[in-house]
Amino acid sequence: MTNLIGSNIAQQGSESLGHETNGSYGNKRTYFEANLSYDRTFKKHNVNGLILYNQQSYDDGSYQPYRKQGIAGRASYVYDNKYVAEVNFGYNGSENFAPGKRFGLFPSFALGWRISDEPWMEWASKTMNKLKVRASYGKVGNDNIGGRRFAYITTVWQGQSGYGFGETAGYYKQGITEGDPGVSGLTWETAWKKDIGFELGLWNALDINLDFFEEDRSNIFMQRKTIPTQTGFMTDVWSNFGKVNNRGFDASLNFNKNFGEFFLSLRGTFTFARNTVIEFDEPESVRGTYRGQTGRPLNTQKGLVAIGLYTEDDFDSEGNLKFGLPVPEVGAATVRPGDIKYKDMDGNGYITENDVAFLGGTYDPEIVYGFGANMAYKGFDLGFMFQGNGNTYQIIGDNAYFIPGSGQGLRGNLYSNYRDCWTVENPSQDVFWPRLSEDPNQHNYRASSWWLVDRSMLRLKTLELGYSLPDKVLKKAYIKGLRFYVSGNNLFYLSNFRMWDPEVNSNTGLRYPPMRSFLFGLDITF
C-alpha cells in the first residue's frame, strides 16, 4: 500500500487593527510525505513494514526558511502473538549543519515476549492474565542546538565596537568585528536510549507496568570555558562537547473492579530520574572539587556554605572579627552579630567568590508522582487526583530587597514570618531570617545554603462529587440522564516550604500561584 501526502499551508493576519490579509507578517509551511507499507499475516506469523520519505519547509519571513528532509523505515515480526521483534531507522537531514554533516543515521531495536501465553504458564492463568517483558535500544538526534541557526558559519557584528581617533579620541567611528566563530565540525546532538520493561496483569483487574531506562547524551552543543583569551576570540567558542547520563525508572498501576453495586478504580504513577554530567568543559583545577560540575546533576544549586550566624563571641571589644576567623570580602566590608557566617572553602582566610560551592539539589524534581481514584455506588460517584514531586530544591532570595525591611519600607515584601529573625534580645541560631537592617545587606541576601529550601510537595489537584438520578425517576420526565456535581481544583497542598506555593517559579514568591477554583454543574441528557 502506498500513500502520498502533500500540503501547503499559508497563514496570514486577518483584517483587523490596521493589518490586512496577505500582509508581510504571515508564515508559510510546506510538507511533503510519501510512504510504502506492507502488512501480511500467515499462520502464526505476522510481518509488517514501512518506508517513509518526508520533507518540510517553514518560512516565517526570516533570512532562510527552516528545512528538514529524511527517510524512515520500520520492520516488525510477531510470532504466535508471543514473540515480537522490531527494527527502526531514521536517516534525517537538517539545514542547520554544514554540507557533509547534515544527515544522521538513527537506528533502534526492540524485543518483546508475552510469557503468560506460554503453555507452561497455564497453571497461573486464573490469577495472572498478563506477563510480558520487553527491551529496546536506539539512537535519537537533536538539531535544535542552543537556539542557534547555522552555527557552523562565523558571524560578523557591526556597530558593537569601534575606535576613537585623535589625541583625545574625540572622533569615534563604529567598526565591524568577528562575532561567534563558526563550528566547522558541527553535527547532531545524539542520545543512545535503553529501556527494559515489565507488564503484569492480575485477576483481570490490576495492571502494573515498570520500566527501567538509561540515556547517554553526547555531542551536546555548549560554549567552551577553558579557551585562553590569548586566542583572540571575541566570545567563547561553541562546540559539540558535553556528555550527560540520565537513568531512572517509571512505574504505573491501574485497578478496576466491581464489587456488587460498588465500583472502584485506582491509578497511580511514579517516576524517578537522575542525571549526571560526564563531560563538561571546566578547568582541571576545579574538576572533582566543590567547584566542579563534572560528576554532578545538571543545574545543581550553587552558593556559599552557611555554617550559622555570627555571635558576640566572634568579635573583639572594638567590634572587629577575632583573629583566625575568615574575613568576608563579598557583600559587606563589616559584619555584625546575627549576620550569616560562611565557610572558608579554600582555606585562604577570606570569603570570596572562590568559596562558592555546589550545594546539592536541583530545581527540576527527580521524583514526580500522582495517584487517584474513582468510585461509584447507587448513583453517587466520587473522584480525586493527587500530584506530587520530590527531590526538588531552590535557593530563594538572592535579591536586594528580599529580606524584610531592607528596602526601608519602600521596596520589597514583608513576609508573614518576619518576626522569626535574629535580634539582640533573641540571639538564636534557629531562626529563618538573619539580622535585619534598613539597607540592603548583600552579605546576607546572596545565594547560600542558608536560603536553600526543599520544594517537595503533594497537591490535591482535582476533587469531584456527583449524584445521578435513577432511571425510574428520569423516565417519567423523558430524560435519559441527569447528574448533579460539584468539583474543585488545586484545593490544598502539603509541603514543608510554606512561604509561598512551592510550584511558583520564583525565588521571591512575587507571582500568582495556581488558582483554586470551584464548579457546580448539572448534566442533562435527553
134-150 tens-digit pLDDT = 999 999 999 888 767 88
Are 375 and 465 a contacting pair, CB within 8 Å? no
CA neighbours within 13 Å on the CB side: how many for 521?
A: 13
pLDDT category of residue 1 using cuts at 50, 70 and 90: low
Spell out the long-range contacts of 409-417 with Cβ–Cβ below 8 A and sequence spacing 24 or more. Answer: 413/508, 413/509, 413/510, 415/499, 415/509, 417/499
Q: How many whole angstroms separate alpha carbon 133 and alpha carbon 204? A: 18
Output the pLDDT for position 15.
42
Q: What percent of the chain has pLDDT over 70?
A: 91
Tally of CB atoms within 10 A around 145: 22
State the DSSP code for 19. Answer: B
- From the list 36, 108, 97, 28, the residue with the least C-alpha distance to 69 is 97
Output the pLDDT for position 101.
86
Place of cell 495556581: 514
Tens of pLDDT, residue by residue over 281-324, are 888 888 889 999 999 999 999 999 999 999 999 998 888 899 88
Q: How many whole angstroms separate alpha carbon 17 and alpha carbon 199? A: 56
Enter the C-alpha cell of residue 24. 508581510
Output the pLDDT for position 402.
87
Output the pLDDT for position 79.
92
- From the list 248, 262, 442, the residue with the least C-alpha distance to 335 is 442
pLDDT category of residue 3 using cuts at 50, 70 and 90: low
Output the pLDDT for position 19.
38
pLDDT value at 24 more than 80: no
Q: How many whole angstroms separate alpha carbon 31 and alpha carbon 59? A: 12
Enter the C-alpha cell of residue 112. 518483546
CA distance to 32, 33, 67, per residue, from 3 (Å): 11, 8, 22
What is the pTM for the complete model shown? 0.82
Output the pLDDT for position 195.
97
Output the pLDDT for position 345.
93
Output the pLDDT for position 410.
65
Tens of pLDDT, residue by residue over 225-246, are 777 776 667 677 888 888 999 9
Q: How many whole angstroms separate alpha carbon 399 and alpha carbon 412? A: 9
pLDDT value at 466 more than 80: yes
CA distance to 177, 178, 186, 483, per residue, from 233 (Å): 10, 8, 18, 70
Output the pLDDT for position 332.
56
Q: Is the dihedral of CA 244, 186, 143, 176 positive or negative?
A: positive
